[in-house]
Amino acid sequence: MTVSLPLVFVLGVITWAAIKFLGIRLWVAVVIALFGFWLSHTFLAPAIESGTRSGVDVVNGTQK
């Protein structure tokens, strides 16, 4: 059975759980998200994308 979930939904659930159960403050979660958006517009973006795709391939078991 294959389930497709949008990445935003998954990250939202992880963020909610971190705030609810780990005691992470909301402003810290917002700062981390904004830093991620800023980082995606730097020269490191290709390396981040490659690493993310490799990680997804490992999780899905679809390595080439």
Q: What pTM, to 2 d.p., does this model score?
A: 0.58
**If you write DSSP's letter for every residue of 2-41 in order, what string do you get?**
-----HHHHHHHHHHHHHHHS---HHHHHHHHHHHHHHTT
Tell how far CA 41 is from the center of its chain: 16
The first and second tokens of residue 50, run together, are: 């490659």
Give the pLDDT band of residue 21 (cuts 50, 70, 90).
very high
pLDDT tens for each residue of 46-62? 988 888 888 888 888 87
Tell how far CA 11 is from the center of its chain: 6
Mean pLDDT over all residues of the chain?
86
Give the pLDDT band of residue 25 (cuts 50, 70, 90).
very high
> What pLDDT shows up at residue 23?
92
